[in-house]
Amino acid sequence: MEYVIVTFPTDRFVYIDSKQNGRTNKSLRVDAGSHLFDLGSLKNYEPESQIFVVSGGTILDPQEIVFTKTGP
């Protein structure tokens, strides 16, 4: 298992490969390999989704995936 952290200015659900898998700004466990990340249907963020190759993230040093807020 690998670890990632999906960062966003507010608390949101994180979807990995279209399945809810934790919340933003918290370490998440995920299998190594290529995965699709997004923050769900309220599209006030960009990019709309990210394909990210997970490899080498640890609980103490997770890989970071960044989404930024758009609009109000």
Give, in order, the Cα–Cα distances in Å from 48 to each of 27, 42, 60, 61: 21, 10, 27, 25
Q: Which domain holds residue 54?
A: 2-69
**Whole-number pLDDT of residue 71:** 79
CATH code assigned at 51:
2.60.40
Instruction: For the chain, 72 residues long, give each residue's pLDDT as a single digit of tens.
Output: 999 999 999 999 999 999 999 999 999 999 999 999 999 999 999 999 999 999 999 999 999 999 999 976
- What is the tally of structural domains in the chain? 1
Task: Kindly give the pairing relationship between strand 45-46 and strand 68-69.
Answer: antiparallel
Residues in the chain: 72
Please enumerate in sequence order all residues whose Cβ is within 8 A of that of 66, keeping only pairs 6 or more positions apart, or say none: 6, 7, 8
